[in-house]
Structure formats: structure tokens, C-alpha cells
Amino acid sequence: MSRFDLPPRRLRRPSLLAVVVFLGFATTAGWSADIQWTGAASDGKWSTPGNWWGVVVPGPSDNALFSTFVGSQTVIADGNPTVAGLTAGSGTSQVTLNVPSGSTFTLFGPGTVTGGSNISLGGGIFKNTGTLTVSGGQLRLMNGVILNQGDVTLQNSAIVS
């Protein structure tokens, strides 16, 4: 019998253990996701899972998006958030990202603040190691600190105050 004449092998279903191991790896492997703010928990806190689509707070490999709701909202960046990307604002949404005293918000990758949206540093620290573009929005220092180790671009009447 040659190797081409072997009887067909039966395909086996993956074991439960193999599936659990894969899912465990998938959730810790650093895969990034775009995670939308919903504000559904109504407390305005970044650290509340119920304020995010999928009930998941964005982490260091995720992109935080504030662009799908209608109107304006204030988000308190508590718990020292760190994200790979940030999109604040769109044609129908405006967000004020407030970094309070004692908190540090870290942006590793690209970030955009558009329209009437702004980042307010109410005593907190905004650490940028990526590329932040403020287009028509504002960066408000208000006793806060910007640690810029990346690029900041101001355009379309953006304001730093």
C-alpha cells in the first residue's frame, strides 16, 4: 500500500480543553479591539464596564471610541486608563474627557479629538507617546500636565488653554 492509498482519517472535533486553552490565549495575547463608549451605566466613569460596548473597559492594546452617541457627554478618566488609540468626537457626538487629579491617561498610538470635543486635565496627567491630532477641539490644562513624548498636531482652530 502506498502513502496515497491510505484509508481516509476520521476528523475529530476539538476537545473542550483545546477550545478553553485557545480562548484563554486569545484574550491575553494582546489582540486589539475598537471599543465604543455607550455611557449606559450613566455614571460617566471610564472604569465602569457598563459604559462600554460589550461591557469591556478598553486596555493598553485597544482603541477607545467616542463617536457613535448623539449629543455631548463628559467622561471621567479614572483608574489610570491606557489605550492604543483614541477617537473623540464626530459629526453628532462631542465628548469631554476629564482626567482628574490623581489620574494619568496614557495614549500609546494615534488619537484624534474633533468637533466640539476636548481633553480637560483637571489636575491629572495626559501622557502621549503616540500621535495626537486636535482638529477643532480643545486641550484644557486646568492645573493638569501634558507629558508629550510623541507628536501633537493642532488644526482647524484647535485651542490649547
Structural domain spans, the chain: 32-160
Binned at pLDDT 50, 70 and 90, residue 157 comes out as confident
Binned at pLDDT 50, 70 and 90, residue 161 comes out as confident
Residue 23: predicted pLDDT: 44
Q: Mean pLDDT in the chain?
A: 85
Residue 141: predicted pLDDT: 85
Up-side HSE of residue 73: CA atoms within 13 Å toward CB? 25
Please provide the DSSP assignment of 139-159 as one string.
Answer: EE-TT-EEEESSEEEEESS-E
Q: Which are the contacts of 7, defined by CB distance < 8 A and separation ≥ 6?
A: none
Q: Residues 56-77: pLDDT tens digits?
A: 999 999 999 998 777 889 999 9
pLDDT at 8 over 80: no
Q: Which residue has the higher pLDDT, 33 or 3?
A: 33
Residue 111: predicted pLDDT: 95
Residue 10: predicted pLDDT: 58
Residue 44: how many other CB atoms lie within 10 Å: 15
Q: Which are the contacts of 22, defined by CB distance < 8 A and separation ≥ 6?
A: none
Full-model pTM: 0.78
Which has the minimum average pLDDT: 5-19, 36-50, 57-71, 123-137? 5-19
Q: Which are the contacts of 104, defined by CB distance < 8 A and separation ≥ 6?
A: 80, 124, 125, 126, 127
Counting residues of the chain whose pLDDT is more than 70, the rounded percentage is 81
pLDDT at 115 over 80: yes
Extract the C-alpha cell encoding 72.
455631548
Q: Which residue has the higher pLDDT, 126 or 13?
A: 126
Residue 30: predicted pLDDT: 57
Residue 55: how many other CB atoms lie within 10 Å: 12
